[in-house]
Amino acid sequence: MKLEFLYVPTTDVTASLGVYRDLFGATEIWREGESTVALGMPGTDVQVMLDRDDQAAAGLLFTVDSVTDFHASQAEALAVVSEPSEIPGGFMATYRDAGGTTIYLLDQSTGEVG
């Protein structure tokens, strides 16, 4: 398991990008059009992912070898928000910890992106 991103949904990617880049010194790592931007933060390998989404909760995004295996063996320790579902390249599931923090799990188990 690896903490990959701090997931930050926003209604305005451009405005949020300005804050993280200009105020906090972030550098753009990759981008998906105008809706998603990953930023490298000074002093850490963990990236901030800005994503245009007004429905999702901010949270931690971990990569794991298998979301379905994690779900089968560990899900009872968390509140399940969304069961594992297939996404391009693998699977994703969403949980909340006991304090209400959103935790996203992602794997790239199928390797079929796009």
Over the stretch 71-106, which tens digit does the pLDDT of each residue have?
Answer: 999 978 999 999 999 988 899 999 999 999 999 999
In this prediction the pTM is 0.86
Q: What is the reported pLDDT for 112? A: 61
Residue 74 in contact with residue 22, Cβ under 8 Å? Answer: no
Quote the DSSP letter at residue 20.
Answer: I
Once rounded to an integer, what is the mean pLDDT over residues 56-61? 96
Q: How far, in Å, CA of 10 to CA of 76, rounded?
A: 30
Q: Is residue 110 part of a domain?
A: yes
- 44 contacts 29 by C-beta, under 8 angstroms: no
Could you give the number of structural domains in the chain?
2
- Residues 70 and 91 both lie in one domain: yes
CATH (domain of 105): 3.10.180.10
Assess whether 40 and 69 both reside in one domain. Answer: no
pLDDT in tens, 2-17: 999 999 999 999 999 9
Residue 39 lies in a domain: yes
Final residue of a structural domain among 52, 72, 92: 52
What proportions of the chain, in percent to the nearest 5, are helix, strand and coil?
20, 45, 35
Per-residue pLDDT at 113:
54
In a domain, 38, yes or no: yes
Residues, the chain: 114
Q: Is residue 59 part of a domain?
A: no
113 or 84, which is more confident: 84
- In whole angstroms, give the CA distance from residue 2 to residue 63: 5
What CA–CA distance (Å, rounded) separates 1 from 99?
20
Q: Specify whether 25 is located in the same domain as 46.
A: yes
Containing structural domain, residue 45 = 1-52
Give the pLDDT confidence of 6-52 residue by residue, as tens digits: 999 999 999 999 999 999 999 999 999 999 999 999 999 999 999 99
Are both 110 and 77 inside the same structural domain?
Answer: yes
Domain membership flag for residue 58 = no
Instruction: Please indicate, yes or no, if residue 57 is contained in any of the structural domains.
Output: no
Q: Cα–Cα distance between 88 and 109 in angstroms, integer? A: 10
